[in-house]
Amino acid sequence: MPWILRALRDGIVTTRYPKHRDDYADQGVRSVARPLPDTQWDNGFDALCPTSAIDRGDGQVRLDQGRCIGCGACVRARPDVFDWETGSETMRLGRESLIVPSLAETDTGLRELRARLADRTRALRRSVHIRHVDAGSDGADEWEVQALLNPIYDVHRLGIFFTASPRHADILLVTGAGAAGMALPLARTLNAMPRPVVVIAAGTDAISGGLTSPSYATNGGVGQLLPVDVWVPGSPPTPFALLHAILRGTGRLRDPGEVNR
């Protein structure tokens, strides 16, 4: 009875994203840090980041969002240089694309990545199944993955389902820093999956190892263990960021910012 009364009181809480805009998805959350445009390098910037995400490139400040854990140390210390990246469309198809301002990466190369992924996933439109593997996470990423199943996001409405068997899965969603002991289980999981398959590295730990790397126990992210197709920064990435990555990875959203309004 209480859940009936709560439903009558709250009404429909499920987001209409991606069919319609969602203000929270667009700008309601901060994810990772970014340098402000045309910021010139100064000594001491690199010491602001505990994961060495800040570096110098061609005299400018560059920040590797794949290493950013969202601690905000750089933003608090130098708000004139660093700010927060907002919105949920943070995924990238290339690891180097997570370094901002972007490195010299040709548009042709990115178009080829998109084209190859689109060709492989052409059949994955109406219904996809996800196999999630924790490869050495602190648990934060798993809470966000689990939130995809709650009434607010309800990914089942989009034909997206989680499965316990890799033999039924179309997407391999990996969280965690890529623990050395997970190398063989990850390989077995990937080999058991039918083709085509999309591999998503979700979270800073999965991309670069985060605070745990370099370490004797980790591989500095899962990219050294698997061929990753989609990279989702954030520590942890939000459910909207994960959902956007899944939709992009399966071809249901073609370009960043492409949402039917």
* Residue 149: per-residue pLDDT: 96
Nearest to 67 by CA among 102, 25, 100: 100
Within 8 A by CB and 6+ apart from 128, the residues are 159, 160, 161, 170, 171, 246, 250
Q: How confident is the model at residue 36 (pLDDT cuts 50, 70, 90)?
A: very high
195, pLDDT greater than 90: no
Kindly report the CATH number that applies to the domain delimited by 24-88.
3.30.70.20
pLDDT digits (tens, 9 = 90+) for 226-261: 999 999 999 999 999 999 999 998 888 766 544 443
- 65-76 per-position pLDDT tens digit: 999 999 999 999
Alpha helices in the chain (DSSP H): 2-10, 23, 73-77, 107-120, 140-147, 183-192, 204-208, 239-249
Does the structure show a pLDDT above 80 at 205?
A: yes
Average pLDDT, the chain: 86
- For 123-155, how does the pLDDT look when each residue is reduced to its tens digit (9 = 90+)? 676 789 999 999 999 899 999 999 999 999 999
Tell me, which fold does domain 107-249 have in CATH? Answer: Rossmann fold (3.40.50)
Going from N- to C-terminal start, the domains of the chain cover 24-88, 107-249
